[in-house]
């Protein structure tokens, strides 16, 4: 375990597009004494979402980026990441695909959470597809972001049993609770190795 005696916590950014339950759990964890990181910056492509409200209420620097022009949006994001000396980018429900150049620039420093047991069920509607395929388990995965969607190296993964009574939204709710616990642990794991 990395101890931060006399050292500052490592600055991280969280990218969101919506509700922000993972942002909240990451932030709450970061406030603990034992945490080695802090949430320095939140980036969102949407202004009126719960996650942005949470970030502002908690006085986290929050940038809402206009994504009409992707190149310009990413340039703006990079500027803020550099300015804040961000060491790790955590995608948490961020619904924009980052360009290859952006990913290259931040190689091995961008991670994402996905609501399935990767490599199964990349992309959207994961819960529905897992139920329709009669899977016994689904779950969630934190992985490095690579140029190919939902395909980077896995950092941590947790299984969740699919119940007979499950529908996609019930399963999503149970998995989300597991995601919220898994994500901060994955961040600590990645940061303790750099
Ligand atoms: C989560 O289910 C995550 O796995 C997916 O998007 C959702 C974001 O939820 N990538 P929240 O905004 O963190 O509540």
Residue nearest to atom 10 of ligand 1 (CA): 93
Question: Could you tell me if 44 and 16 are in contact, meaning their C-beta atoms sit under 8 angstroms apart?
Answer: yes
d(CA 51, CA 49): 5
What's this model's pTM, rounded to 2 decimal places? Answer: 0.95
Cα separation of 177 and 130, whole Å?
A: 18
Ligand 1 mean position to 5 CA, how many Å? 33
Task: Return the pLDDT at 4.
Answer: 57
pLDDT at 7: 72
- For 47-80, the pLDDT digits (tens) are 999 999 999 999 999 999 999 999 999 999 999 9
Q: Give distance in angstroms: CA of 177 to centre of ligand 1.
A: 10
| H or E stretch covering 174 | helix 168-191
Q: Which atom of ligand 1 is nearest to the CA of 24?
A: 13
CA-derived radius of gyration, the chain = 16
Does residue 18 register a pLDDT over 90?
Answer: yes
Could you tell me if 178 and 144 are in contact, meaning their C-beta atoms sit under 8 angstroms apart?
A: no
Whole-number pLDDT of residue 3: 54
Backbone angles phi, psi at 158, to 5 degrees: -135, 135
**Catalytic: 143?**
no
3-class secondary-structure state, position 141: strand
Report pLDDT digits (tens) over 71-88. Answer: 999 999 999 999 999 999
pLDDT of residue 33: 95
List residues bridging with 6 in a β-sheet. Answer: none
**Smallest CA separation from ligand 1 atom 14, residue:** 21
Mean pLDDT confidence for 134-158: 96
């Amino acid at each position: 375990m990395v101890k931060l005696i006399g050292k500052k916590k490592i600055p991280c950014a969280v990218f969101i597009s919506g509700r922000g339950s993972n942002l909240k759990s990451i932030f709450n964890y970061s406030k603990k004494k034992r945490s080695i990181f802090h949430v320095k910056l939140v980036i969102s492509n949407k202004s009126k979402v719960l996650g942005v409200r949470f970030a502002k209420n908690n006085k986290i620097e929050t940038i809402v980026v206009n994504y009409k022009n992707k190149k310009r949006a990413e340039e703006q994001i990079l500027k803020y990441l550099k300015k804040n000396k961000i060491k790790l980018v955590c995608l948490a429900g961020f619904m924009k695909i980052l360009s290859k150049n952006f990913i290259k620039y931040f190689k091995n420093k961008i991670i994402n959470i996905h609501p399935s047991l990767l490599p199964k069920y990349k992309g959207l509607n994961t819960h529905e597809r897992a139920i329709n395929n009669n899977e016994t388990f689904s779950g969630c995965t934190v992985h490095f972001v690579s140029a190919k969607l939902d395909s980077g190296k896995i950092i941590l993964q947790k299984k969740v049993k699919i119940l007979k009574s499950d529908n996609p939204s019930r399963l999503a709710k149970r998995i989300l609770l597991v995601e919220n616990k898994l994500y901060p642990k994955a961040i600590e794991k990645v940061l303790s190795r750099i």
